[in-house]
Structure 1
Amino acid sequence: MRNETRGTLELTLAMVLSGTLGIFVVQSGASPFTVVFFRCLFGALALGAYSLARGYLTGHGFTARTLALAALGGVFIVFNWVFLFEAYEATSISFATVVYHTQPFFLVLLGAVVLRERIGAAKVAWLGVAFAGLVLVSGTRPGDTASLKGLGFALAAAVLYALATIVTKRIGGVRPHLIALVQVTVGIPLLLPFADFGEAARLGTGWGWLAGLGLVHTGVMYVLMYAAYAKLPTARIAVLAFTYPAVAMVADWAVYGHHIGLVQALGVPLIVLASLKVTLGRAAAPAPRTAGRAPAAASPAATRSA
């Protein structure tokens, strides 16, 4: 019981940190590509130092195949962040975060297309509920270019995160910290041509926010999440995951005065409920057996953190 209590505190703190991520992105004053580049750089330093200190780099368990899969997952993760941060810029943190939490439904759909997984009637029904919630939350009109643009960016981010989840689930025998380390390391050369270093040189105090994104929201947050995974049942993880959007919405309102409208608010519980049902339904299914010396990576969708 004490172990579960500690895991609950760890995951709750990780989700609270995740909920404040949008504030750090906006306050940095940098463009999305520049933000993600430095998040990857500082995040790689943080996760690399932690993995080295814990001895995870010795006997890491990677093969050529799993390393390639981790790198591919990194491509999806990195551009998922770019699109999510673009959505923050186009609309608001609250709006983008709620739409972003359609990830589980894209995971179900991609699972059916890519992995030939069967979609039962119950999942189809919950997908319908989620779609209704998404229509309400979007609240967009044909002429509302900014909202439509933000909606598109957030949905693209959700699709990329679902793709990263499918790829990561196929990696066994490697600690999740090391998979995350590979993913953020891949982002450094990948985004190097797109990062605006002239802009970065003029950021001033924005550097503190960028460092926080890498050291806190990537290093500390991921360590807390993976520590909690080993202590908590999947149902508890799925429920605690919704601390993230709740904190993001409160933070957006408290700092920037942004909030979603009444009609949009009606869609939030529909997305939350459908997401919870789909996530728990997938968790109840028997997991494939994987061989390896180290614990397999927990699915990124288990917490859907940014």
Structure 2
Amino acid sequence: MVQMRSTEAISKIKLISSMMVFGTIGIFRSYIPYSSGLIAFVRGVIGMLFLLLVIVIGRKKIDLLAIRKNLPLLCLSGAFIGFNWILLFEAYRYTTVATATLCYYMAPVIVIIFSPLILKERLTLKKGLCAISAIFGMTVISGVFGDASSDIRGILFGLAAAALYASVIFLNKFIKDIGDYEKTLIQLGTAAIAILPYILLTENISEISFDTRSTLLLVIVGILHTGIAYTLYFGSISRLGAQTAAIFSYIDPVVAVILSAIILKSFGITDLVGSILIIGAAVFSEISFKNFKKTLDKQR
């Protein structure tokens, strides 16, 4: 029992860490002068190569049997990640960032709604209320109510990206007995392959040039925000309840908003209220009042 709780605690730390890293990618993205599609492809390739290097240098044994056993789900999940990135980029093209972000972060809601059906997880009243709080907080932060210029195509692209994001969480719950490195390596590689046709269709490859600063930032995004962050992410969601993973996903946009406030000095009262609602929902959803009461009783 103690070991299970320890494993769960470590998984939550990994998940929170990955969400905090994901929340910083927007700052890096703003200083990289390339298209979102190209950045996504490069980050997938660099992330995959970085993990391969870690495996080789660390002389970690690749479990080919585990990869073969889970290959269909790994490839499907990886392809969904790639298509997810593409759809999100298209959402940004056709609507505002606020609207696209709000639509995209309907993914945790999809997970919470369908986890009782797909994973047989019980949806408690507490989890449901926390999900509603997180959704409301995300809505407040997004500023979507103050924008009336949303294109239906952008909204549909954002919701489709959310559905794929939710699908990745569900698929990873069925990937069993495989190391975090192998799992992430295959999924990032498949994501890059899925994005490649999109790049070839939308980019003029011959006109792309790389300078030192942009290359360095791309390497950081590939290693930190992709290789390391996705290893932490995939290594945690398979060991946690889907509803827990869903609610904790809202830490990502909160970090993005806070960083924006620090760097761009743009943090209003609505951002503060939204952030409190989201972080409060994540913390409150994981508090066990029964265990808390038992601890108080023991101290008495």
TM-score, with normalisation over the residues of structure 1? 0.68
CA drift at 1:83: 4.2
Secondary structure of 2:197's match? coil
Partners of 1:7 and 1:105 in 2: CA distance = 21
The answer to whether residue 186 in structure 2 is matched with residue 178 in structure 1 is no
Could you tell me how far 1:203 is from its partner in structure 2? 4.7
- 1:248 is matched with 256
Match of 1:109 in 2: 113
Larger gyration radius, structure 1 or structure 2: 2
The whole-number CA distance in structure 2 between the counterparts of 1:60 and 1:14 is 26
Cα separation, 1, equivalents of 2:102 and 2:153? 15
Q: How does 1:43-192 map to 2 (within 5 A)?
A: 43-62=47-66, 64-84=68-88, 91=96, 102-115=106-119, 117-141=121-145, 144-145=148-149, 155-192=159-196
Q: Evaluate the alpha carbon distance shift between residue 202 and residue 15 of structure 1 in structure 2; reply closer, same or farther with a 3 A threshold.
A: same
Counting matched residue pairs gives 275
| CA 1:140–1:238: 2 relative to 1, 3 Å | closer
Match of 2:208 among 190, 201, 205: 201
Partners of 2:190 and 2:234 lie apart in 1 by 20
Instruction: Give the Cα–Cα distance (whole angstroms) in 2 for the partners of residues 255 and 194 of structure 1.
Output: 33
Deviates more, 1:199-208 or 1:33-42: 199-208
Q: 1:220 aligns with which of 205, 220, 228?
A: 228
RMSD over aligned Cα, in angstroms?
A: 4.4
Distance 1:29 1:153, change over 3 A: farther
Structure 2: give runs of 5+ residues left out of the alignment: 1-5, 238-243, 292-300
State the alpha-carbon separation in 1 of the partners of residues 149 and 48 from structure 2: 36
User: CA-to-partner distance for each residue in 1:144-164, whole Å, 9 max, x for gaps?
Assistant: 225987776655444322210
Contact 1:60-1:175 at 8 Å conserved across structures: no
CA drift at 1:118: 4.4
TM, length-normalised to structure 2: 0.69
**Cα gap change, 1:184 to 1:148, in 2 (>3 Å):** same
Write the letter of the residue equivalent to 1:178.
Answer: E
Tell me whether 1:273 sits opposite 2:280 in the alignment: yes
Q: Distance in 2 between matches of 1:43 and 1:203?
A: 18
Q: Is the 8 A contact 1:32 1:86 kept in 2?
A: no
Instruction: Choose 162-171 or 212-221, whichever is displaced more.
Output: 212-221
Structure-2 residue corresponding to 1:288:
none
Task: Give the Cα–Cα distance (whole angstroms) in 2 for the partners of residues 149 and 262 of structure 1.
Answer: 31
Aligned to 2:31, the other structure's residue is in SS state helix
Q: Deviations over 1:249-293 (max 9, x none)?
A: 23223444554x534543333333334455679xx9xxxxxxxxx
Question: Between Structure 1 and Structure 2, which shows a larger proportion of helix residues?
Answer: 2
Comparing 7-16 with 197-206, greater Cα deviation is found at: 7-16
Q: Is the 8 A contact 1:87 1:153 kept in 2?
A: yes
What's the offset of the Cα at 1:123? 3.6
Aligned equivalents of 1:226, 1:115: Cα separation in 2: 17
**Equivalents in 1 of 2:32, 2:79: separation in Å?**
23
